[in-house]
Amino acid sequence: MRTIGLIGGMSWESTAEYYRLVNEFTRDRLGGLHSARCVLHSVDFAEIEHLQVRGHWAEAGEVLAGAARSLEAAGADMVLLCTNTMHKVADAVEAAVSVPLLHLADVTADAVRAAGLRRVGLLGTAFTMEQDFFRDRLEAGGLDVRVPDAAARAVVHRVIYEELCLGVVREESRAAYREVIGDLVAAGAEGVILGCTEIELLVGPQDSPVPVFPTAWLHARAAVDAALSDTGDAPAPR
């Protein structure tokens, strides 16, 4: 099995899910006591969030590029950014290493197309929903991406940063997300991308009348597929 490099800590709540998922997928594929070969570089999210809100994306990219280099030095055969929002600096991270970056938007677009869908709603941080770095990548993968209206975007963003990143899960927030999902479906969405890794801590398939695409789950599964591809047990990532 090749070694999976994880850039985490954004937030550590969802990074813990990544670690659980890559190990569960490995166990399910290989059986017995098998677990994933992986290395983790976990950053201080407070420092990254400080750069986010000030628009200092280049500096944040330098921090994460350094994390990627440390993973490669530790033996990682691929790198995953365990966050949707920080894929805004994916190019800087990818340029910092010689091993491949498994891009979260590409993995997600592949999953949506494999389900036979094209029109999808996107939930995430305000950065992910309102800026073009993630939506453009999804659209380049053949998707028609819709986002909630401004008021709903504010609710989705607030819950992520003020609750989910702190490990707080509230029923009223789950109800609010269900309402946002319902509005996206009413506007024509055939599926909904849970485009922030923390959102999977709050809602899932049972909260949506259409298929949901949990990006952390999809990313972790794709990483294990790629890690096992040298054994002939899985296809290499595209």
Task: Convert the pLDDT of each residue in 146-170 to its tens digit.
Answer: 999 999 999 999 999 999 999 999 9
Instruction: Look at residues 41, 25, 30 and name the one whose alpha carbon lies nearest to residue 75.
Output: 41
Q: What is the pTM of this model?
A: 0.92
> Which pLDDT belongs to residue 232?
43
Which of 26, 83, 85, 108 is an active site residue? 83
In sequence order, what are the residues at sequence separation of 6 or more whose Cβ sits closer than 8 angstroms to the Cβ of residue 28?
A: none
pLDDT at 13 over 60: yes
How buried is 31 (Cβ within 10 angstroms: 0-12 exposed, 13-18 middle, 19+ buried)? exposed
**From CA 215, how far away is CA 211, in angstroms rounded?**
13
Are 122 and 193 a contacting pair, CB within 8 Å?
Answer: yes
Catalytic (active site) residue 38: no
**CA-to-CA dists, residue 103 to 78, 116, 158, 167, 211, angstroms:** 11, 21, 25, 25, 21
Q: What digits encode the pLDDT tens for the residues 166-203?
A: 999 999 999 999 999 999 999 999 999 999 999 999 99
Instruction: Look at residues 31, 21, 40, 38 and name the one whose alpha carbon lies nearest to residue 227.
Output: 38
Strand-pairing partners, residue 146, are: 121
> Which pLDDT belongs to residue 230?
66
Peptide bond into 11 cis (omega under 30): yes
Catalytic (active site) residue 108: no
> Which pLDDT belongs to residue 237?
41
Mean of pLDDT over the chain: 95
- Percent pLDDT > 70 in the chain is 96
